[in-house]
Structure 1
Amino acid sequence: MDPNTALELVKQGVTLLLLDVPQYTLLGIDTQMFSVGPAFKGIKMIPPASHFLYYSSSTRDGKDFSPIIGFFIHAAPSEVIVRRWDQQQERLVKVSEEEEERYCQAVKSLEFDRQLGPYNLSQYGDWKHLSNYITKSIIERIEPIGGEITVACESGIVTNAPKTAMEKALDEQMKSSKFLTSVENSQSRRCYYTSIPCVIKQKGIHGQELTSLNIDKTQLLESLLIKDYGGSEDVLLGELQFAFIAFLICMGQSLEGFLQWKALVNLLFGCIEAPFRTRTQLFTKFIKVIYYQLKFGLEKDHTDTSGAATGLSALLDDSWLSADSFLHHLCKDFFSLMLDASSVDGHLLSWTRKLKELLENNLGWEFQRNSAVDGIYFEEDDEFAPVVEMLDDPSCN
């Protein structure tokens, strides 16, 4: 990070004052996670932006932990956010306005400064790539009542739906959690994600036309953008990032987040016409988003202060990352679509190739590309490679 940028972030830094958090509690913000020490009172020098705070209470010896609870915050420059640990509920709660004002003044007078740990700015770049479309309005749009995202509120999400091996494991984890018995009205505390149809059904449409609508989800994408996202591509991408963070940063404990992320990825990768004609810039941004999500998730060096590995490869079972997974099939079809096209935007093609290389190098996945003529294979750099058209869009650089 540029020194001037870092200095500016320090000057405008947000303070998260966390009172009475017990020792050994696992606590994280964004991509950073640590174990609470005896003098801990919070985190300082947090860049003003959207962030995700999450925690897990422990037994007195620090060996066993409850399911993770997380929530998003959107912090303004120099803001002080105050939460207090409720011992009976084992969770962070808001304080009264009077208390908050008193503690804000104490923080600004540096009364807590020695007990505040600094936000690790060296990891802020990773977080920005994972959350750059998440705004205050998106948080307010999706977050559950009370703001808390936890496995305890997700029981029975996919009772009647077919499950992958990973989904079954997460569902069993939820059912076996002793924390579930202490949560009332959990259904009202689920996230307000957009409903993404798996299969398109329309009255008056039958046969080949209906089949075509399900093969190419461009029309469904357009309909959802207008009806549910107010025509904003960035709101859709913000929901994609929100769902991914709720799942991954919560260390795999939000099945609801995973299912929404999977539904949106299925929707976007299932479009054939949109990447070339109607939504080229959206798809360039989408590929960048999923590239950084998978790049972060597949890194094997994510650890908390206890030395435990975190990240996608540490959290998901092998079947999710296998060459027979839903993601592999979606990517294979999309890569073939892009790389076999006669004309494609240069920015989109460039990021598609980066994503393809990431999956090939990190997972060993193979994406053989066949021509439309008798299955003859052509190299990407030969005369049959797609024509590159560079659109003048600085936001896609």
Structure 2
Amino acid sequence: MSDNTAILLQAMRMGDQLPPEIVNYMYENGAFLLFLGFPSASEFGIDYKSWKTGEKFMGLKMIPPGVHFVYCSIKSSPRIGFFHNFKAGEIVVKKWNKQEETFEDEKIDESEIPAKRRQLKSMDNSLAPYPYENYRSWYGLTDFITPETVDRVHPICGRITAQAELVSLETEFMENAEKEQEESSIRSRVDRENPVRTRFVDQHGLPIMKIREGYEIRFQEIPQLTASQSRIGIEYSDRLYRLLRGLGGDYKQLLAEMQIAFVCFLIGQVFEGFEQWKRIIHLLCCCPNSFGSEKQLFMAFVRVLFFQLKECPTDFFVDIVSRDNFLTTTLSMLFANISESAHAGEDLKKKSEQFKQYLSKQFKWDFNCN
């Protein structure tokens, strides 16, 4: 935890309104985001808060150093956004591309920074302050996410969008072939004289689509567990260990990916974030033999999931999570595995039981019927 984060969390314990000395401190040490040319009466947000923009809107000020998620939407279109690790005093500039209806980076040379900083005073009335009333909630949702997590997971194109840039496999194949100057070879395989050529279509004859390269969120590949596999007795610790090795042996990066996937879905409205979140939960609920060797992981996993469910809107469960009842199914398995495990310590069993009681009381979930 950085000094700035510690100062802010301490200040937030006093109430939602920051003391004047903290406001002054954050103006000097917080980051600035200039978002130029963005249309008025559009949605703009950071972390857990969004607004409708006015005509004078030019960005944000006093952003706490650390990883944040910025997003926007025009004309009720799907949200587009990005994660960024804001540094103390940093000035980030984005400009709106009206034709493409998206944002672009505007690079600032080191020599331009002093001039940009002098301009901030004149732009002050057009810069919205960071919503500190939501900072504690945001920190609780993202405390494992690091700049390294963002670099590893973020799309290469620089944007996370709820409306994916799709391309058919056949189009991608042809584009790649053209890049490699293999047109003559392609024609010999896909012309009218070759009716049995391989086509990139599904069983209904529809083109198979995928997210265009560079636009996908680069989630770690995780073994997918089906509902039929989610029952007591399933053991996938070997897969967990392989996954952790792929993350450099750092369990915190697995939890960071769980957090970033959740934010992508809850705030970015990207369904693939929900699918990755489910995959991680399913896997961790199927590893009873790891409770001893990965005690810190499972203790932290329970805490991370607690904060995520605590921050969810009530209708989130009605519309999405409870649709296939995956949480009650998989968490029933987790609670039973921990309770019956010879590897789980008393502290993990106690934390698990407290979490189970919280969910039963808060959401009326019955974990004894699954």
Asked if Structure 1 and Structure 2 have the same fold, meaning a TM-score greater than 0.5 normalized by the shorter chain, the answer is: yes
Does the C-alpha gap of structure 1 residues 195 and 119 become closer, same or farther in structure 2, counting only changes over 3 Å?
A: same
Q: 1:10: Cα distance to partner? A: 4.6
- Residues 120-161 of structure 1 show CA distances to partners (whole Å, capped at 9, x for unaligned) of 21211110111111111111111111221112226599xxxx
- Select which of 108, 114, 117 maps to 1:105: 117
- Residues 6-40 of structure 1 show CA distances to partners (whole Å, capped at 9, x for unaligned) of 62545421111111211111011000111111111
Equivalent residue, structure 1, for 2:35 = 18
Equivalent residue, structure 2, for 1:92 = 103
- Select which of 190, 195, 219 maps to 1:193: 219
Structure 1 CA distance, aligned partners of 2:95 and 2:262? 27
Counting only pairs closer than 5 Å after superposition, residues 148-159 of structure 1 correspond to structure 2 as 148-153=159-164, 155=166
Equivalent residue, structure 2, for 1:294 = 309
Equivalent residue, structure 2, for 1:219 = 238
- Select which of 127, 130, 146 maps to 1:119: 130
Aligned partners of 1:82 and 1:100 also within 8 Å:
no
Q: 1:343: Cα distance to partner? A: 7.0
Structure 2 CA distance, aligned partners of 1:90 and 1:237? 33
Does the C-alpha gap of structure 1 residues 367 and 4 become closer, same or farther in structure 2, counting only changes over 3 Å?
A: closer
Q: 1:279: Cα distance to partner? A: 0.3
Equivalent residue, structure 1, for 2:83 = 72
Structure 2 CA distance, aligned partners of 1:103 and 1:267? 51
Q: 1:96: Cα distance to partner? A: 3.6
Equivalent residue, structure 2, for 1:2 = 10
Equivalent residue, structure 2, for 1:326 = 326
Aligned partners of 1:295 and 1:358 also within 8 Å:
no
Q: Root-mean-square deviation (CA), in Å? A: 3.0
Aligned partners of 1:152 and 1:186 also within 8 Å:
no
- Residues 81-106 of structure 1 show CA distances to partners (whole Å, capped at 9, x for unaligned) of 11111111112211143596376323
Equivalent residue, structure 1, for 2:277 = 261
- Residues 196-220 of structure 1 show CA distances to partners (whole Å, capped at 9, x for unaligned) of 12269xxxxxxxxxxx9x9111111
- Residue aligned with 1:278, SS: coil
Aligned partners of 2:167 and 2:212 also within 8 Å:
no
Does the C-alpha gap of structure 1 residues 198 and 154 become closer, same or farther in structure 2, counting only changes over 3 Å?
A: farther
Does the C-alpha gap of structure 1 residues 57 and 3 become closer, same or farther in structure 2, counting only changes over 3 Å?
A: same
Structure 2 CA distance, aligned partners of 1:319 and 1:16? 33
- Residue aligned with 2:322, SS: coil
- Residues 171-221 of structure 1 show CA distances to partners (whole Å, capped at 9, x for unaligned) of xxxxxxxxxxxxx97343101111112269xxxxxxxxxxx9x91111110
Please tell me the residue identity of whatever aligns with 1:247: F
- Select which of 45, 48, 58 maps to 1:31: 48
Structure 1 CA distance, aligned partners of 2:333 and 2:107? 54
Could you tell me which runs of 5 or more consecutive residues in structure 1 were left unpaired when the two chains were aligned.
59-64, 158-183, 201-211, 301-312, 371-397
Does the C-alpha gap of structure 1 residues 268 and 185 become closer, same or farther in structure 2, counting only changes over 3 Å?
A: closer
Q: Number of aligned residue pairs: give it.
A: 308
Please tell me the residue identity of whatever aligns with 1:235: Q
TM-score by length of 1: 0.70
Q: 1:338: Cα distance to partner? A: 2.2
Aligned partners of 1:336 and 1:369 also within 8 Å:
no
Equivalent residue, structure 1, for 2:257 = 239
Structure 1 CA distance, aligned partners of 2:74 and 2:118? 27
Does the C-alpha gap of structure 1 residues 199 and 90 become closer, same or farther in structure 2, counting only changes over 3 Å?
A: closer
- Residues 286-311 of structure 1 show CA distances to partners (whole Å, capped at 9, x for unaligned) of 1111111111014x4xxxxxxxxxxx
Aligned partners of 2:167 and 2:211 also within 8 Å:
no
Aligned partners of 2:155 and 2:214 also within 8 Å:
yes
Does the C-alpha gap of structure 1 residues 12 and 319 become closer, same or farther in structure 2, counting only changes over 3 Å?
A: closer
Aligned partners of 1:51 and 1:74 also within 8 Å:
yes
- Select which of 114, 120, 144 maps to 2:155: 144
- Residue aligned with 1:189, SS: coil
Q: 1:225: Cα distance to partner? A: 0.7
Aligned partners of 1:153 and 1:187 also within 8 Å:
no
Q: 1:348: Cα distance to partner? A: 2.4
- Residue aligned with 1:81, SS: strand
Does the C-alpha gap of structure 1 residues 107 and 359 become closer, same or farther in structure 2, counting only changes over 3 Å?
A: farther
Please tell me the residue identity of whatever aligns with 1:321: S
Aligned partners of 2:157 and 2:214 also within 8 Å:
no
Aligned partners of 1:72 and 1:139 also within 8 Å:
yes
Does the C-alpha gap of structure 1 residues 97 and 152 become closer, same or farther in structure 2, counting only changes over 3 Å?
A: same
Aligned partners of 1:106 and 1:112 also within 8 Å:
no
- Residue aligned with 1:219, SS: helix
- 1:281 corresponds to 2:300: no
Percent identity at matched positions?
A: 31
Does the C-alpha gap of structure 1 residues 187 and 41 become closer, same or farther in structure 2, counting only changes over 3 Å?
A: same
Please tell me the residue identity of whatever aligns with 1:3: A
Which protein has the larger Cα radius of gyration, Structure 1 or Structure 2?
Answer: 2
- Residue aligned with 1:33, SS: strand
- Residues 216-270 of structure 1 show CA distances to partners (whole Å, capped at 9, x for unaligned) of 11111011111x10111111111111111111111xx312111111111111111
Aligned partners of 1:21 and 1:41 also within 8 Å:
yes
Structure 2 CA distance, aligned partners of 1:219 and 1:194? 16
